[in-house]
């Protein structure tokens, strides 16, 4: 392997917290992988410091530097209000730019990579710096299919309207357009988002899931994998209208399965009362259990024992819980939409076309029936899902994808601009190709 100098990479990760799933895991896992070959800086919020400090005390990470940036105290309440967190995020991007601009002359980063939040309709002002910029993967271009909004509560329908307006206004933001246009490459979580990035003027767009599991996480899941004979269908996530759990409840009620099989919903959220009412309406009684929010370790243990993960999300860029289920050999039943629709294949689970609510519910019910009645097929799907995770969604695999599509290109361009010698250029190329 080449002995060329490591790259200096700055990761912008507003959400970054060790030991968690979803977006907080994305930036942290990527940093843990990159630091094996390069010098890495993470720029994140002050509120993430305790978790990051504890993780680094337990397992030091040479080559990793963490920078913290936050808004003045009088603006911190924006972060605590879910409705205002995106305003906090926007202001944070401005302060992050100011902080990095001051440090750039001292550090001299080779590239800057915006990682989280994973949404395309808010800018990263770091793209304005004279450093090769990688954007994403970002998502948010996914929309609820026509006909499904009528299944939402009034609150949910109003939310979808506000989301449409926010996305539209975001696309009109000149700084969002500059972020797209100044990106060496823009990664999109789905083709729907890729279309929006191209419309914004991104020079090069690649579809790439933002999800990956670190080596330690994958080993944790591997050790507990076995055919458990569980009697529970699981849905995991915040109880939000667009997660589609109302579709899952009706599908479970219609499935031709023994009454000893239960449906557990893990999470909290504003749709809980509506879901409780629906469970009563469908006559499910004690077969449905609302477990509330559980620690991540407990959630993973339940996935190891579950018959299947039922995840009928209607617009989702990622779907980390689907990846975690696949890693423990738990088949996933999802709609063929967004990130879950890319993660799950016919060989690893059941992905249902979302043509209409009635059709989707009927097909989800049939998938539940099939997975409950066919233990051998369930085991085969689980084993194939694990193989897919190990092949395509470990951090090692993800880094190979980033190197192939982004790091190689932008860093070679940087060397050319600096007038690097041919030998240094060749060494760096070989180092990236063969980490």
Of the listed ranges 214-218, 247-251, 269-273, the one predicted with least confidence? 214-218
What is the rounded average pLDDT of the residues 399-418?
A: 58
What is the rounded average pLDDT of the residues 172-197?
A: 94
pLDDT of residue 175: 95
What is the rounded average pLDDT of the residues 225-238?
A: 73
Q: Is the pLDDT of residue 259 over 50?
A: yes
- pTM listed for this prediction: 0.82
Per-residue pLDDT reduced to its tens digit, 49-105: 999 999 899 888 888 999 999 887 766 666 555 666 788 889 999 999 999 999 988
The pLDDT confidence band at residue 110, using thresholds 50, 70 and 90, is confident
pLDDT of residue 413: 59
Which tokens belong to 320?
A: 């980390």
pLDDT of residue 318: 85
pLDDT of residue 405: 42
Residue 72 or residue 298, greater confidence: 298
pLDDT of residue 215: 61
Q: Is the pLDDT of residue 266 over 80?
A: yes
pLDDT of residue 136: 86
User: How many angstroms separate the CA atoms of 123 and 343, rounded?
Assistant: 27
| Structural contact between residues 25 and 34, judged by C-beta atoms closer than 8 angstroms | no
- Mean pLDDT, the chain, integer: 85
Per-residue pLDDT reduced to its tens digit, 369-394: 999 999 899 999 999 999 999 888 88
Which tokens belong to 152?
A: 């939402």
Residue 413 or residue 335, greater confidence: 335
Q: Is the pLDDT of residue 2 over 50?
A: no
Residue 218 or residue 234, greater confidence: 234
Domains of the chain: 8-212+394-433 (3.40.50.2000), 216-391 (3.40.50.2000)
Of the listed ranges 37-51, 69-83, 389-403, 414-428, the one predicted with least confidence? 414-428
The pLDDT confidence band at residue 424, using thresholds 50, 70 and 90, is low
| Structural contact between residues 369 and 256, judged by C-beta atoms closer than 8 angstroms | yes
Strand 185-188 with 205-207, pairing:
parallel
pLDDT of residue 414: 57
pLDDT of residue 434: 47
133 Cβ neighbours under 8 A, 6+ residues apart:
111, 112, 113, 114, 124, 126, 127, 179, 182, 183, 184, 410
| Structural contact between residues 257 and 308, judged by C-beta atoms closer than 8 angstroms | no
């Amino acid at each position: 392997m080449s002995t060329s100098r490591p790259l200096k990479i700055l990761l912008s990760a507003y959400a970054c917290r060790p030991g968690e799933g979803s977006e907080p895991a994305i930036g942290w896992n990527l940093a843990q992988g990159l630091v094996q070959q390069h010098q890495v800086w993470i720029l994140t919020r002050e509120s993430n410091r305790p978790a990051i400090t504890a993780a680094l005390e337990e397992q030091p990470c040479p080559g990793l530097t963490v920078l913290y940036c936050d808004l003045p105290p009088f603006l911190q309440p924006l972060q605590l209000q879910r409705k205002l967190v995106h305003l906090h995020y926007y202001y944070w991007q401005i302060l992050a730019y100011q902080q990095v601009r001051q440090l750039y002359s001292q550090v001299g980063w080779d590239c800057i990579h915006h990682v989280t939040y994973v949404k395309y309709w808010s800018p990263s002002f770091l793209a304005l710096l004279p450093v090769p910029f990688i954007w994403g993967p970002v998502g948010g271009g996914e929309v609820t299919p026509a006909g499904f909004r009528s299944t939402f509560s009034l609150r949910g329908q109003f939310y979808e309207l506000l989301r449409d307006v926010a996305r539209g206004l975001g696309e009109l933001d000149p700084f969002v357009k500059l972020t797209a246009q100044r990106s060496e490459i823009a990664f999109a979580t789905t083709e729907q988002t890729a279309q929006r990035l191209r419309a914004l003027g991104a020079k090069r767009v690649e579809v790439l899931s933002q999800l990956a599991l670190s080596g330690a996480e994958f080993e944790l899941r591997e050790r507990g994998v076995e055919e458990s004979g569980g009697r529970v269908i699981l849905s995991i996530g915040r109880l939000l209208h667009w997660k589609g759990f109302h579709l899952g409840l009706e599908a479970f009620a219609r499935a031709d399965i023994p009454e000893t099989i239960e449906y557990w919903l893990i999470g909290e959220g504003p749709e809980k009362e509506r879901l409780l009412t629906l469970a009563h309406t469908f006559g499910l009684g004690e077969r449905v259990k609302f477990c509330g929010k559980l620690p991540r370790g407990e959630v993973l243990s339940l996935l190891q024992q579950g018959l299947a993960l039922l995840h009928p999300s209607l617009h989702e860029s990622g779907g980390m819980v689907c990846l975690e289920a696949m890693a423990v050999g738990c088949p996933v039943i999802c709609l063929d939409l967004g990130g879950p629709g890319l993660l799950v294949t016919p060989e690893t689970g059941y992905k249902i076309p979302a043509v209409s609510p009635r059709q989707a519910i009927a097909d989800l019910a049939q998938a539940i029936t099939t997975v409950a009645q066919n233990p051998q097929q369930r085991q085969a799907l689980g084993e194939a899902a694990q193989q897919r995770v190990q092949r395509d969604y470990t951090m090692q695999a993800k880094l190979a994808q980033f190197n192939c599509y982004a790091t190689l290109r932008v860093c070679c361009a940087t060397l050319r601009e600096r007038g690097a010698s041919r030998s240094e250029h060749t060494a760096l190329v070989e180092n990236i190709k063969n980490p």
